Structure 1
Amino acid sequence: MTSLLSRSDVSLSVQGDTLMVTGDLTMSAAAELAAAGVKWLRGMEYSEVCFDFGQVSKASSVAISVLFEWLRACQAMGVMVRSIVLSAPLERLASLAELDALTSPPAASA
């Protein structure tokens, strides 16, 4: 596991093709965390990635915003997102915001 960002409130690490966020993502850390993830995405050698927010203990729209930034970067680079793991609090927030499709596997092309 490689650390990409370590702050007292949140950390970002990578293991294989997976970006992992741990801690409580706050507004003050969002831009830095998003940028570190995008930088890794631009430099990585995988055609598919996973995002793991399973260790984020508080529901926050900030975490969803970071996820959207990474999804936009993947779309721009033609990288497939294989899976997205959200913690229970983030799952509830995504459901309330009707963003459940974020954590569903991509539909097979017809």
Structure 2
Amino acid sequence: MNIKINNNQLSVSGSVTFANVAEITRAGLTVMSQPEPVVDLAKITELDSAAVSMLLAWLRAAQQHGQQLRVINLPQNMASLIKLYDLTELLPFESC
């Protein structure tokens, strides 16, 4: 797992699972107070349902700072989990 932060953009790569999601979530919270925070998930190679909770935590943090989170390059398997949990209206993501 690797996290890169560049101003208002957070890029996550590698694995996002129950084993490391807390660390990734904490690291990403720093970006959520930036104007127009963006999360790029293009380089995620493995994920489980914990990744959805990560996005929800970031969304909540962005909203608490009066920001609207934008998620780009959502992996297809994460999009499927979001649809399965009926969260498509809550989580703002752009197509894969």
Alignment TM class, shorter chain as reference: 0.7 to 0.9
2:77 to 74, 83, 89: 89
Structure 1 segments (4+ residues) deviating >4 Å: none
Paired residue secondary structure (1:58):
strand
Q: Is the 1:59–1:93 Cα contact (8 Å) retained in structure 2?
A: no
Q: Is the 2:25–2:54 Cα contact (8 Å) retained in structure 1?
A: yes
Alignment correspondent of 2:28: 37
Aligned length: 92
- What letter corresponds to residue 23 of structure 2 in structure 1? E
Alignment correspondent of 2:42: 54
Alignment correspondent of 2:18: 27
Task: List gaps (5 residues or longer) in structure 1.
Answer: 1-9, 106-110
For the pair shown, the structure with the greater C-alpha radius of gyration is 1
Query: Residues 13 and 72 from structure 1, CA distance in 2 versus in 1: closer, same or farther, beyond 3 angstroms?
Result: same
**TM-score, reference length from structure 1:** 0.71
Q: Deviations over 1:28-71 (max 9, x none)?
A: 211111111113434xxx32111122222334111111111111
Query: Residues 22 and 104 from structure 1, CA distance in 2 versus in 1: closer, same or farther, beyond 3 angstroms?
Result: closer
Alignment correspondent of 2:55: 67
Task: List gaps (5 residues or longer) in structure 2.
Answer: none
Alignment correspondent of 1:11: 2
Higher relative contact order (Cα pairs below 8 Å, separated by 6+ residues): 2
- What letter corresponds to residue 25 of structure 2 in structure 1? A
| Higher helix proportion (structure 1 or 2) | 1
Query: Aligned-residue CA RMSD in angstroms?
Result: 1.9
